[in-house]
Chain A
């Protein structure tokens, strides 16, 4: 395998990995504020992609308008999910919370498939399919745009966490009994973080939808988003970006070398083994906070 192919795999992988970070950041935002690992992030991504298509197709809105509309709808979807499903589970054992998000995942996934059908559709946001030439290396334009969006959203979030609302959220994630006692409404903060994460999933849905088509496969991005989130540390946004970059790079190169050997389909294997190894070697990830357990 020659060097330019390796470079191509590595660069495209790293860029697509940054697009995994979009999902991972959504998971991290929710985990930070309420310690809920959101296994429905993939389903939310898929739902938002279908919503964009529905707005653009049914009402003939221009694509940017339907994206904005979807973001608004997803904002309220996030708030509703927190209010209806998760608020009452606060303080319950983690198995219940995991099952709740899994149930949510199944529910959102099958409802959107029941409404819009499972046949794959194209979502075009005006990014051309022409590859981008960088010397001898071909880059996928969608991945480039996705990586730029991911990094700018990350910077935006970093800025947001310096604002008043952001400081409130940081306080909640730090210690929510203390936040309660100084008069912060923890419930509203957690609901807001769900809403933010649902809005973030719209960006992931649009970008992944235009990269690989809108179908049930979008929900399968959950495993990748989860792996990135765990690798970066479940409560670290910066970790999600860096881990996305690393995982994308590793996945692309490793499966590029493995696929010819095993006859294809080794991406899942690479991702799943990375997740296992991460958990076994460094469960709190690159930048995550150590869990200290009281007896």
Chain B
């Protein structure tokens, strides 16, 4: 259809190594990039700042979590805490007069340092116990953030983020905030796309498949686990900082609580473990779902003449969200990314199905 080819058959080393071997993909990516770049001109500023921008920032965070969960195969149930560390460090840095860029990078580095502490749990245990210990670390981090006044600015407090200044330019308009988020998301995406093709990426996959076996073939599995935790924490920390600076504009402890961690995990699972395009889908799905659900339920209640209490209405999207996680795991455990890949593989050679690569 769109692709018009019968399988991917590289004829030179350069084409075998290409990031997007199918030319239709290159066109699609180019087109999407053009749409993304011109979005401030073509889309309403409300849509831009309430839907597109948070989606991009959450996607970069999900990509970071996917690095540790999908690539390195290490559980991380405390990713929101990592984002929180980055966010609080960056906000404090910026409030104390550091330039914005330095503050954000500092946030990432701080998240990375503390993220490596999570990795020391990974030295000792794995699988279920690693999941539980990172879950417990999330609780500890929550507690520290909300109970140490020097960090949160007192209990029940919000910490106002100062205005952004990028390279000396004040960034306040909706579209420039959007471009900041877009740039970060693209950076992370390009990093992740290329990670698959590097020795580091292959080593991480080896560790994921079986860490002892990886050690036998000479991949220092603990070192790569540390690298994976540090890298993904850096991405998470910077994403958290950008989330605060471009979207929330103020930091509160609840923004990085345990349910946010679970939401991030849900994004990864719904999107697909280890799938980059899936991270985009998963973040969009989980972010859009509550709003969509609310309007669907409102419409249903109206047409059926039901009167639902405000509390019922408030909890139904959550119930649907839980049910969706379960349905995805039962129907397509590898998520939306896998569904996309299946459709693409089918269309790639359509109508010559026998030429499947």
- In the docked arrangement, what's the CA distance between A244 and B322, Å? 30
Give which listed residue, B121, B212, B266, B323, contacts A279 with CB less than 8 A: B121
Answer whether A230 and B132 are a contact pair too, CB < 8 Å, given A110-B322, A283-B125: yes
Q: Mark A105-127, 1 if CB is under 8 A from B, else 0.
A: 11111110111011000000000
Determine if A283 and B129 form an interchain contact, defined as CB atoms under 8 angstroms apart. Answer: yes
Q: Let me know if A96 is at the binding interface, CB within 8 A.
A: yes
Determine if A272 and B137 form an interchain contact, defined as CB atoms under 8 angstroms apart. Answer: yes
Q: Let me know if B32 is at the binding interface, CB within 8 A.
A: no
Determine if A103 and B124 form an interchain contact, defined as CB atoms under 8 angstroms apart. Answer: no
Give which listed residue, A89, A99, A293, contacts B325 with CB less than 8 A: A99
Q: Let me know if A275 is at the binding interface, CB within 8 A.
A: yes
Determine if B128 and A276 form an interchain contact, defined as CB atoms under 8 angstroms apart. Answer: no
Contacts of B142 in A (CB 8 A): 268
Interface residues of chain A: helix, strand, loop or mixed (majority): helix
Determine if B326 and A114 form an interchain contact, defined as CB atoms under 8 angstroms apart. Answer: no
- In the docked arrangement, what's the CA distance between A68 and B316, Å? 29
Q: Let me know if B143 is at the binding interface, CB within 8 A.
A: yes
B226 to chain A, nearest CB (A): 16
Contacts of A118 in B (CB 8 A): 311, 315
- In the docked arrangement, what's the CA distance between A279 and B273, Å? 26
Give which listed residue, B121, B139, B309, B324, contacts A269 with CB less than 8 A: B139
Contacts of A280 in B (CB 8 A): 121, 124-125, 133
Q: Which of B110-163 contact A (CB under 8 A)?
A: 121, 124-125, 127-129, 131-133, 135-137, 139-140, 142-143, 147, 155
Determine if A111 and B326 form an interchain contact, defined as CB atoms under 8 angstroms apart. Answer: no
Contacts of A106 in B (CB 8 A): 262, 318-319, 321-322, 325
- In the docked arrangement, what's the CA distance between A233 and B127, Å? 15
Give which listed residue, A96, A104, A262, A269, contacts B322 with CB less than 8 A: A104
Contacts of A92 in B (CB 8 A): 333
Q: Let me know if A205 is at the binding interface, CB within 8 A.
A: no
Determine if A98 and B318 form an interchain contact, defined as CB atoms under 8 angstroms apart. Answer: no
Answer whether A276 and B265 are a contact pair too, CB < 8 Å, given A98-B128, A265-B143: no
What is the interface residue range for chain B against chain A?
35 or more
Q: Let me know if B330 is at the binding interface, CB within 8 A.
A: yes
- In the docked arrangement, what's the CA distance between A75 and B309, Å? 30
Contacts of A109 in B (CB 8 A): 318, 322
Determine if B312 and A114 form an interchain contact, defined as CB atoms under 8 angstroms apart. Answer: yes
Contacts of B137 in A (CB 8 A): 272, 276
Q: Let me know if B223 is at the binding interface, CB within 8 A.
A: no
A4 to chain B, nearest CB (A): 29
A229 — nearest CB in chain B belongs to which residue? B132
- In the docked arrangement, what's the CA distance between A89 and B330, Å? 7
Q: Let me know if A273 is at the binding interface, CB within 8 A.
A: yes
Q: Which of A104, A106, A226, A293 has the most CB of B within 10 A?
A: A106
B262 — nearest CB in chain A belongs to which residue? A102
Give which listed residue, A96, A113, A226, A273, contacts B132 with CB less than 8 A: A226
- In the docked arrangement, what's the CA distance between A274 and B139, Å? 12
- In the docked arrangement, what's the CA distance between A135 and B262, Å? 47
A286 to chain B, nearest CB (A): 15
Q: Mark B252-284, 1 if CB is under 8 A from A, else 0.
A: 000000000010011001000100000000000
Q: Which of B266, B323, B326, B333 has the most CB of A within 10 A?
A: B326
Q: Which of A64-102 contact B (CB under 8 A)?
A: 85, 88-89, 92, 94-96, 98-100, 102
Contacts of A263 in B (CB 8 A): 147, 155
How many residues on chain A are close to B (CB under 8 Å)? 46
Q: Let me know if B356 is at the binding interface, CB within 8 A.
A: no
Q: Mark A274-295, 1 if CB is under 8 A from B, else 0.
A: 0110011001000000000101
B120 — nearest CB in chain A belongs to which residue? A280
Determine if A99 and B329 form an interchain contact, defined as CB atoms under 8 angstroms apart. Answer: yes
Give which listed residue, B131, B140, B319, B333, contacts A276 with CB less than 8 A: B140
Contacts of B133 in A (CB 8 A): 275-276, 279-280
A92 to chain B, nearest CB (A): 7
Determine if B140 and A269 form an interchain contact, defined as CB atoms under 8 angstroms apart. Answer: yes
A37 — nearest CB in chain B belongs to which residue? B128
Give which listed residue, A100, A115, A268, contacts B312 with CB less than 8 A: A115
Q: Let me know if A24 is at the binding interface, CB within 8 A.
A: no
Determine if B143 and A272 form an interchain contact, defined as CB atoms under 8 angstroms apart. Answer: yes
Determine if B121 and A111 form an interchain contact, defined as CB atoms under 8 angstroms apart. Answer: no
Q: Which residues of B contact A (CB under 8 A)?
A: 69, 75, 121, 124-125, 127-129, 131-133, 135-137, 139-140, 142-143, 147, 155, 210, 212-213, 216, 262, 265-266, 269, 273, 309, 311-312, 314-316, 318-319, 321-326, 329-330, 333
In the complex, 14 of the A-B residue pairs with CB atoms within 8 angstroms, ordered by the A residue number, are A85-B326, A95-B131, A95-B273, A100-B325, A102-B325, A104-B326, A106-B319, A110-B316, A114-B319, A117-B309, A263-B155, A276-B133, A279-B121, A295-B210
Q: Which residues of A contact B (CB under 8 A)?
A: 37, 85, 88-89, 92, 94-96, 98-100, 102-111, 113-115, 117-118, 223, 226-227, 230, 262-263, 265-266, 268-269, 271-273, 275-276, 279-280, 283, 293, 295
Q: Given A295-B210, A295-B212, list of 17 further CB < 8 A pairs?
A: A96-B329, A99-B325, A102-B262, A106-B325, A107-B319, A110-B318, A113-B315, A113-B318, A263-B147, A269-B139, A273-B136, A273-B140, A275-B136, A279-B121, A279-B124, A279-B129, A283-B129
